Amino acid sequence: MKKIVLIGTIALFVLFGSISMALAQEAAFKIGVVDLYKAVNESEQGKKANADLESMIKSKKEALEAKGRAIEKLRSELEKQGDVLSADAKKNKAEEYERLTREYQRNASDSENEVRKKQGELTGRIIKQLREIILAMAKEEKYTMILERADGLVLYADGSIDITDKVISQMDGSSAKPKKKK
């Protein structure tokens, strides 16, 4: 009988020990969620990048609008003077109109590609810095896992595990520090 009680007592200790270890491991499991889109757009570097991009877009748009006005002026001249111009002059103006129109379309396409490329470069650089900050934060604060809150990736996350604002403030703090020269 003593053996059964002893074995039962040992089994209970093992069971409670296992449960307490499982609870201890569960308590050490720390998860965070970061909205990279928000971090990119709300950080100081992201705001500056967006302002630079807007400035670039504005200048390209102005240049395209000037070319568009020149094309419209030429088209208007063609319509108004079409009856008075000689066949050669009319043909030359029509060819110039077509050339300017193709050039305008090519410039518009090139400008779009250039803006897209610049946006990718700026965003890529910021995301790289954010990832470095997130990695350092994960190690320092002993996170088990940090997920990106992207459309469809994280369906639900309690706001208490969202560390986006903390990442943004660290990003802004690290960009405000002067860089040391080697």
Over the stretch 2-50, which tens digit does the pLDDT of each residue have?
666 556 556 545 555 555 455 455 557 889 999 999 999 999 999 999 9
Residues 6+ apart with CB under 8 A from 154: 33, 147, 148
Domain boundaries, the chain: 30-176
Residues 6+ apart with CB under 8 A from 145: 30, 31, 32
Query: What is the rounded CA–CA span in Å between residue 175 and residue 15?
Result: 52
Quick check: 39 and 164 in contact, CB under 8 A?
Answer: yes
pLDDT of 16 reads: 52
pLDDT of 129 reads: 93
Quick check: 167 and 146 in contact, CB under 8 A?
Answer: no
Apex CA 67: angle with CA 62 and CA 69, to 5°?
A: 95
Return the closest-CA partner of residue 165 out of 30, 47, 43: 43
pLDDT of 131 reads: 93
pLDDT of 89 reads: 79
In degrees and rounded to multiples of 5, residue 147 shows phi and psi of -105, 155
pLDDT of 21 reads: 56
Rg value, the chain, Cα: 32
User: In which element (H, E) is residue 142 found?
Assistant: none
**Residue range 125-173, pLDDT digits in tens:** 999 999 999 999 999 999 999 988 887 777 888 888 989 999 999 988 8
Quick check: 36 and 162 in contact, CB under 8 A?
Answer: no
Q: Is the dihedral of CA 153, 158, 159, 160 positive or negative?
A: negative
